[in-house]
Amino acid sequence: MKFDYSKLKGKIIEVFGSQEAYAEKMNLSNTAISNKLNNKVPFSQLDIYKTLDLLNIMPSNLNFAQCLKDYFFTPKVENIQQNNNELVKELEDFSKELETEK
């Protein structure tokens, strides 16, 4: 599953001015941060905790779960048209396979 980090990216820019400055504070390379923000590598628990601290997002216990969801666990909505096109292609391929089996 991929996650939508747009809110996190916005907060990073708001607080640090750039992704590079955030990466430096996290003691990670910009490439490592980019990979995390682009769903290529997951955020570790330590990454999440440190990020919340650096961004001054320390909600009360009542809001903690919502903050985690908002910044780290919002599912990414894929392009519906792209999904439809892929499904149509799969159905066409399947239909061709059925025709050749006849």
Q: 52 with 58: CB under 8 angstroms? A: yes
Give residue-wise pLDDT tens across range 3-24: 999 999 999 999 999 999 999 9
DSSP designation for 82: H
Please state the rounded mean pLDDT for residues 39-67: 86
The type of residue at 33 is: I
What would the two tokens of residue 72 be?
């780290």
Query: How would residue 80 be classed by pLDDT, with cut points 50, 70 and 90?
Result: low
Note the pTM of the prediction, 2 decimals. 0.72
**Average pLDDT of the chain, as a whole number:** 85
Is residue 49 over pLDDT 60? yes
Q: Supply the pLDDT for residue 13.
A: 97
Helix, strand, coil percentages in the chain from 3-state DSSP, rounded to 5: 70, 0, 30
Q: Supply the pLDDT for residue 36.
A: 97
User: Alpha helix (H) ranges present in 27-79?
Assistant: 30-37, 45-54, 61-72
* Domain architecture of the chain: domains with CATH: 6-76 (1.10.260)
The type of residue at 27 is: N
C-alpha 71/C-alpha 91 separation (Å) is 37
